[in-house]
Every structure is written in structure tokens, then in C-alpha cells.
Chains A and B, each alone.
Chain A
Amino acid sequence: MTAPDTLPEAWQSELLASLAPDEQLIAWLELDLDDHLEFRPGLVTLSDRRLIATGANDTPREAWPLTAGLKLTHHDHAGVGTLELEDGQGRLALWRYTLGQSPAALRFEREFVRQRDSVASGQPPLPAVAAICPICQIQLQPDEEDCPNCIRELHTPPSTWTLLRIWRFAKPYQGQLIAGFLLTLAATAATLVPPYLTMPLMDDVLIPYQNGTPIDPDKVAWLLGGLLGSATLAWALNWARTYILALASERIGADLRTTTYEHLLKLSHEYFGGKRTGDLLARIGSETDRINVFLSLHLLDFATDVLMIVMTSVILFSINPWLALVTLTPLPIIAWMIHLVRDKLRTGFEQIDRVWAEVTNVLADTIPGVRVVKAFAQEAREAQRFREANKHNLEVNDRLNRIWSLFAPTVGLLTEVGILVVWAFGIWLVSKDQITVGVLIAFLAYISRFYTRLDSMSRIISVTQKAAAGAKRIFDILDHVSSVPEPANPVTLPPLKGGIAIDKVSFRYGNRAVLHGIDLAIAPGEMIGLVGHSGSGKSTLVNLICRFYDVTEGAIRVEGIDLRSIAIADYRRNIGLVLQEPFLFFGTIAENIAYGKPDATRAEIVAAARAAHAHEFILRQPHGYDSLVGERGQSLSGGERQRISIARALLIDPRILILDEATSAVDTETEFEIQSALNNLIRGRTTIAIAHRLSTLRRADRLVVMERGRIVEIGNHEALMASAGAYWRLYQAQTKQLDAPPVLGENSPSA
């Protein structure tokens, strides 16, 4: 992007002509929209002294010399990015682009700032800083324009070659796979023996008998024995290969699934934020299964069929080349016709897949939200929605079944026609004494076998495509690098004292800046109260401290070490986190409390529960600590859930305790009790507590007041009250409510 020699060709001649002889191109930005928001190419260029716009808007070319007062700002809305050029007096120009250009625009803006400052100060420009992928926040290499991961995920449609990547998982089972293949070879060969034996049975036994020769019992016994023997052999070999290959493919599938899941768990919040649960469930659950079935069933059958056709052809040609040729010629034609019909069916089947998703989506929407459905008495509407989804399903199925019902009879007809051709040509050859009746019968026995396989063989294309699509979706997960990467050489973490240094931290979710220049040093053992309006960025700051996201700018350090250079799990072991939305797993209360420390003793669990004031209500449950709390803790009240998650955080005895609205759902009295219990535990532990109810934070050493992503005030309660600023206003608002609680349904008395 910054190297002028790759300037897009279309612009080159036009632009270079307009430059002064010693003028140097620094950077450019290709635009894909004009200022009426129509798709039209344009270009903004930065030279070492000017900003030049070409063809973007209605004016053909404009240029602005770089001066200190020039400012470039960008913002975006609904997928359109806007770059505005301003000086102190007003707006000079405005350019539009779609968000795909946004990384380039950010880079352009940075280059502009460097160049402008250099022109203004007369110094050479500062060195460039590494860019960050706006989608996954990963640091890009200096020469990378776009994040290779996100781009690949976006642009590569599934390809059949993706399936080859499964080899990575198949490799450990190489031995079994080879054994399976050899068994397949042998089994297929064994199944080809019986038709061969029909030849002597016809020519040497039955036909001579009709011509008056008596039947030789020994010969018949031999031949029948051979038939039985080869059938038994084929049975045993088939059993062995199916078993071995099924074992191997099941294991490959299981490895694929667990590896994907393990990798998924390592991905950041960012990734989960952008994906639907149902989609991830489907990828790990049914897609791996589909690949599994593909490997163990379709691929295996296909391989067997191919082997059979090859071997049969060899046998047929060795018996009679002419008849073999006639027998095999219709095969490719019939296969092609079957494939054509299948292709028609495939789009139908795809459609059915999607309609099914629609049906399950209705269920997935309603069942978790059933309380809302019932509360608003919308059962009838939801039932109607389900009925409609099913109706759609029926319509699509009906349409498909019209073709589908034709399919099997058509294959049957084609098969009969093929066999007819063999009969006709065979009879002709027999009449010319070229072959015996036995040969003809053997040919017919062989050929009818693989006509029946043609249908299943034609299916291989569509199942391969489906499996490839599944493989792609799985490898999308596996190839995704976490936006919170594990350091390559993690620093070993010394025992933490609990101090945290937040140094000029800014953060954006994608393109949306949420935190700006946060500076805060937290001393070991200090209790910090974080307050501010809803949406001011409190939870976001806590997310950064836990390293759920990486800072966009600045750094967070513990013991002088940047969080990004510590192994993530090592660091998080030191943090006890109680979230705004407490989440309980399906299991007993004791299991939920001990989640962060599965080997905790019962005494420890009880102690933690006592500290969180959960002990008594737990004992009121039917089985005490062994009571089951259903999915998402549905059988507990909001405050009870919060107390269990406090106990969970306390149990791991963390150096840093983070309470994000941890007591918002309990009554003031219980909160006070928890508070007093916490006081003992908080001592000597760094605590960051977020609360809307300011009384909760009375004991905080320092209160940090946030407003729209910035820290606006720091100090203890008294100092902040005295300064009558943002905290004072928040406090006033709350105490006023306390003094004169508004009564529902009654207006406050007017003077």
C-alpha cells in the first residue's frame, strides 16, 4: 500500500503526470463509492507535500497542500465509511468507501498524520506502527494489508481439496486404513468368484445333461462347494474390513471433533460474540458426523465399487473381449444420465436442508424463551409459526418427491435396457458359436451386479461436495487464530502481589471506539470502585484486565509484565471473576462452586459459600449442596445465582477479585451481609468492584468514575463529594430517590 510501485494501473498514468518532478507518492486509498453513494471508483493519494483526490466525486481532480491545520477524520455508518478533510475553518472534502476499504483507510489516515506532522515540523516522519485487523483485532505484519485469516475465511468457497486436509487426522490410523484397503481388495475378489463358477456349471453340467450326458455328482459338489466357500470367505472378509474401517473412521471423527472443540475453547470472546451458538453446535456436532459417515460409508462403498468394476472388467475381457466391450459401453452413458437426474435432485435436497434449519430455528427460539411466550400468552402465535415452517417444509418436499419418485424406476429401466443389449449381442454370439451359453450367463451375472451399484456411485459427487463443505466449516474454526494470542515465549509469572498498571489504554470493538486513554495504577491490595452510567465502558475495562480482549493501544501490566507476554491460563488463575450475568452449569451446587478448583474439599466449598452468604439458602434446598440446579440455574433466584458465583470466585483464593455488579440482584440487607463477609476476604486482595448502587462501594479505597469511555474522576467518597463533580451528581440522583421514593401510580406532590 505504501510502496508507490504497486499503484493500481488504471490510475497510474493519469496521476503520475500531475506530480511535480521531485514529488514523491507516499500512500493512496482506493475508493469504491462517490459522494452520491453510487458505486464508482476513485482515488485519494498522499504525496510528500499534497493530498490529491482523483475521480472520486464530481470534480475531476483536486489537491490540498499539507499544512499543520489539516485534519483527516474517518467514521462509518451502515457499512459506509467516510473520510473527511477539514481545516480550522470548515470541511474541505469528503470521500466515501465501503467498509472493505476500512483497514486501508485507517492506514491512509495514519500515513497522512505522519506526513503532515513531518511537513509541519520539518523533521522526517516517525516510523510506521503495525496495523490491526479490524475484524479479529490481531496484529498484522508490517507488509500485510489485510488479515490473512479473515480474508481467507471470507473468500474461499469450500473446495473438494479441503477434504484432503483430513489426512492430518487420518494419519495416526494409517495401519488400520491400509489393512482395511487390503481386506477390501480381497473381499471384492471373493465376491467375484460365484459368477465365474456359473460358467462351468452351465457348460459342463447342465447343458451336457440336456444333451443326454448324466450329471457328475462329484463335479457338482465341487462347484457348489466353491460357491459356498467363496460366499463364506467374502462374508468374513467383508465383516473384517467393515469393522476395522468403521473403528478407524469413528476415531478419526472423534479426534476431529475434540480437536475442533479444544481449539474453539481457546478462541477469544470476540470470536464467540460474532457467531451463533446454533451454528457452532452444528459445525462440531453434525458436520463432523457427516464427514465421518462420508469416510466410513460413502468413500468406502465408492472405493469398493471402483475396485469391483476394474476387476470385473479384467475378468470379462479375459473371457471374451468383444462381449466385454459391448457389456461395458453402456455403463458410462447410464452413469452420466443418472448423474444428470441427481444434479437436479441435489438442489432440492439442499433446499430441504435449509428448510429443516428453519423448522429447528423456530424451536430454538421458543423453547429457551418459553417464559416470555407464556407471559404474553403467545402460544397460539408460536404454534402458528411452527405450523408455517412445517408447511414450507412440506411444499419443498412435495416438489422434490415428484422428481424423486421417478428416479428409482428410471434407474431400473436403464438397467434393464443395458442388460437387454447384452442379451441381444450375447445371443447373436452364441448363434455364431463364438461363446458358450455359460459365458453369456456369467456375463449377465456380473453385469447385473454393478448396474445396481451405479446409483450409489453417482451419489458420490454430491456427498463429497457436502462433506467438503462440512470440512471447510470445521477447518475455518481450526485455522482461526485467537485474537488474544498465547505468547510464543511466555514469561513465567512470579507470584502476584496484585498491583495492576493500566497505561494509556484505548480499546475498540471492531470499528467502534469504546475506551479512550485510560490511565490507572492499582496498588496491591487496593479496592477500586468503578462507577459510571450504563454503557460507559466499565465491563469493557474489566474484560481487558482479564484479557478477554487485547487492548487496541497502550498496555496493561502486572508486576511490570505486559499481559500479552504471559501465558493466558497462568494469569487467569489469579483472577476471581463474578460476572454481571451469573452463569451456572447444569450440575449440583457444590460442583458449580468448585468449578474453578475441581479438587476443592467439602470444607473449602462450605467456607466459600458461607463467605458469599450462600450457605443458608443452600441448606434450604432439598439436598443441600448436592441439589441440582437446572440448566442456566433456572431453579434459583437471581440473587441466589449471584451468591453462588461469588462463592465460586472466592474458592479459588484469587489475588485479584473482580466483581461486576456482583450484588445487584440481592436486597440491600443481604448485600450488606455479603459486604461484611467480603471485607475479611478482600483484605490483602486487589478488588475491582463495579456497582450502580453507590452504597455498595462505600469501603472502596478509591472510586473511579467513568463517562463515555474516559476516566473523569478518581478519589475516595469524601473527596469526590467535596469536589461536586460527576460522582456527586450520580450520588445526588440516588439519594434523592431514597429520600422521596417515587410511588407507582401516584404523582409526586406539587408545590
Chain B
Amino acid sequence: MKPTASPFTLSRNSFGRLVLSDAAGLAHAGIVPVRAFGITAPDYGISLMSADGKELQWLENLDVLPDDIRSLIVAELAQREFVPVIRRIASVSSYATPSTWQVDTDRGTTALILKSEEDIRRLRGTDNAGALLIADSQGIHFLIRDRLALDAHSQKILKRFL
């Protein structure tokens, strides 16, 4: 799609916050971009919310935005999105919950505490039937893109919890 002139401008202030100036020339500081379908369709629908939680701008698609605005939004999203993707399960402390898992993720190795098996959810609506979302005890969500694509060791461990 061809970039079109946008009805608003976006900039970053010295406090590191995004500032949106709307068509009327009003400036809103502390803009938060939010993906509407963070996991199942990350590229569809991004909303720019004001600091007090009001939607200022709905963007169906980032592609139509001018480059500078888009890169600001993408950078801010990267700062807020934290869904480590599990690549390998190295070990688990026990097969009964609560259980501490040592995992390798795309963001480095870490440990997570699984409070109960219910915190592992099968994701529907994704392209992949083997996708799992694991909520750890602190509310961090770990993603397994396709559990059938994991190595045998990880799959064997995972199977005990499914």
C-alpha cells in the first residue's frame, strides 16, 4: 500500500514519551500504542491510546503510515511487548505443579514458575494447531509457536503437563 498523508504527527519528547499532535493541533503526551490482537493477528489493528486510556487513533494497518511515524510506533511497541518464545525446555523441577522450568527463549535463558497446568493454554485462531501460551506465576506469557516442532526432550517434558 502507498503511504498517505496522516491526519496526525508523532514525536518523542525528552522524557522518552510519544507525543501525538492531532488534526486540531492538540498535543497528547504519553501515547501508548496497543496491538488489538497481540498474539493471533499482531499486524492487524493498532490503536494509539492516550495516557488516561482513551483511544486517539485507530490504525488498521501500519503500512499506510509515513516511515518516520511507523518506525516510532514500531520502536515503542518493541519496548512494550514481552512474549518470550520458548525454543527448548531444558529441565523442570517437578512434574507436579508448582514447577520451575528452565527454558531457552528467543530472549535468553530464564526460569519460569508454572503455578498449575491450567496456565498452559492451547491457542486457537492461529495458523498453528500446536501453539501454546504459558502464563508464569508473575504474569509473563511465554509462547510456544509449535510444540510439535520442539526437540524430543522438550516435547517429552511438555507432554507430561498437557
Interface residue ranges, A against B (CB under 8 Å): 32, 36-40, 77-80, 84, 86, 89-91, 94, 98-100, 153-158, 276, 279, 347, 350-351, 354, 465, 469, 472, 708
Residues of A within 8 A of B108 (CB): 38-40
Residues of B within 8 A of A153 (CB): 98
Asked, given contacts A80-B82, A91-B14, whether A351 binds B162 with beta carbons under 8 Å apart, the answer is yes
In the assembled complex, the Cα of A98 lies from the Cα of B99 at a distance in Å of 18
A157 touches B107 (CB 8 A): no
Partner of B137 from A36, A91, A154 at Cβ < 8 Å: A154
B61 interface hit (Cβ, 8 Å) = no
Partner of A354 from B15, B115, B117 at Cβ < 8 Å: B117
B47 interface hit (Cβ, 8 Å) = no
Asked, given contacts A39-B108, A154-B98, A157-B96, whether A90 binds B113 with beta carbons under 8 Å apart, the answer is no
A78 touches B140 (CB 8 A): yes
A37 touches B140 (CB 8 A): no
For A355, give the chain B residue with the smallest CB separation: B162
B91 interface hit (Cβ, 8 Å) = no
For B122, give the chain A residue with the smallest CB separation: A358
B138 touches A91 (CB 8 A): no
B96 touches A99 (CB 8 A): no
In the assembled complex, the Cα of A39 lies from the Cα of B140 at a distance in Å of 13
Residues of A within 8 A of B136 (CB): 79
B96 touches A158 (CB 8 A): yes
Number of A-B contacts (CB under 8 A): 82
Can you add 13 more A-B contacts, CB < 8 Å, to A32-B110, A154-B137? Answer: A36-B78, A37-B78, A37-B107, A40-B108, A78-B81, A78-B82, A78-B139, A86-B15, A153-B98, A155-B113, A157-B96, A279-B116, A350-B95
In the assembled complex, the Cα of A90 lies from the Cα of B99 at a distance in Å of 42
Asked, given contacts A37-B82, A469-B96, whether A98 binds B15 with beta carbons under 8 Å apart, the answer is no
A–B pairs, 10, beta carbons within 8 Å: A37-B79, A39-B108, A77-B80, A78-B141, A86-B15, A90-B16, A99-B139, A158-B94, A279-B118, A350-B95
B98 touches A155 (CB 8 A): yes
A79 touches B82 (CB 8 A): yes
B110 touches A39 (CB 8 A): yes
Asked, given contacts A154-B113, A354-B117, whether A98 binds B16 with beta carbons under 8 Å apart, the answer is no
Q: Measured between C-beta atoms, what is the minimum distance from A300 to chain B in Å?
A: 24
Partner of A90 from B14, B81, B159 at Cβ < 8 Å: B14
Residues of A within 8 A of B110 (CB): 32, 39
For A37, give the chain B residue with the smallest CB separation: B82
Q: Measured between C-beta atoms, what is the minimum distance from B31 to chain A in Å?
A: 14
Asked, given contacts A39-B109, A40-B108, A90-B13, whether A155 binds B139 with beta carbons under 8 Å apart, the answer is no
Size bracket, chain B contacts = 35 or more
Q: Measured between C-beta atoms, what is the minimum distance from A639 to chain B in Å?
A: 32
Partner of B94 from A39, A99, A157 at Cβ < 8 Å: A157
Q: Measured between C-beta atoms, what is the minimum distance from A256 to chain B in Å?
A: 20
Residues of A within 8 A of B115 (CB): 154
In the assembled complex, the Cα of A37 lies from the Cα of B82 at a distance in Å of 7
For A476, give the chain B residue with the smallest CB separation: B98
For B34, give the chain A residue with the smallest CB separation: A77
B105 interface hit (Cβ, 8 Å) = yes
In the assembled complex, the Cα of A300 lies from the Cα of B140 at a distance in Å of 44
Q: Measured between C-beta atoms, what is the minimum distance from A99 to chain B in Å?
A: 4
Residues of B within 8 A of A469 (CB): 96
B160 touches A350 (CB 8 A): yes
B141 touches A94 (CB 8 A): no
For A38, give the chain B residue with the smallest CB separation: B107
Residues of A within 8 A of B80 (CB): 77-78
Contact with A along B129-146 (1 / 0, CB 8 A): 000000011111100000
Contact with A along B18-57 (1 / 0, CB 8 A): 0000000000000000000000000000000000100000
Asked, given contacts A38-B107, A91-B14, whether A156 binds B138 with beta carbons under 8 Å apart, the answer is no
B14 touches A79 (CB 8 A): no
Residues of B within 8 A of A36 (CB): 78
B97 interface hit (Cβ, 8 Å) = yes
Q: Measured between C-beta atoms, what is the minimum distance from A660 to chain B in Å?
A: 23
In the assembled complex, the Cα of A84 lies from the Cα of B30 at a distance in Å of 14
For B108, give the chain A residue with the smallest CB separation: A39
A79 touches B79 (CB 8 A): no
In the assembled complex, the Cα of A12 lies from the Cα of B114 at a distance in Å of 32
Residues of B within 8 A of A279 (CB): 116, 118
Residues of A within 8 A of B117 (CB): 354
For A100, give the chain B residue with the smallest CB separation: B138
Q: Measured between C-beta atoms, what is the minimum distance from B134 to chain A in Å?
A: 12
A347 touches B160 (CB 8 A): yes
B126 interface hit (Cβ, 8 Å) = no
Q: Measured between C-beta atoms, what is the minimum distance from B156 to chain A in Å?
A: 10
Residues of A within 8 A of B94 (CB): 157-158
A155 touches B100 (CB 8 A): yes
B6 interface hit (Cβ, 8 Å) = no
In the assembled complex, the Cα of A94 lies from the Cα of B14 at a distance in Å of 13
B15 touches A90 (CB 8 A): yes
For A150, give the chain B residue with the smallest CB separation: B137
B93 interface hit (Cβ, 8 Å) = yes
Residues of A within 8 A of B116 (CB): 279
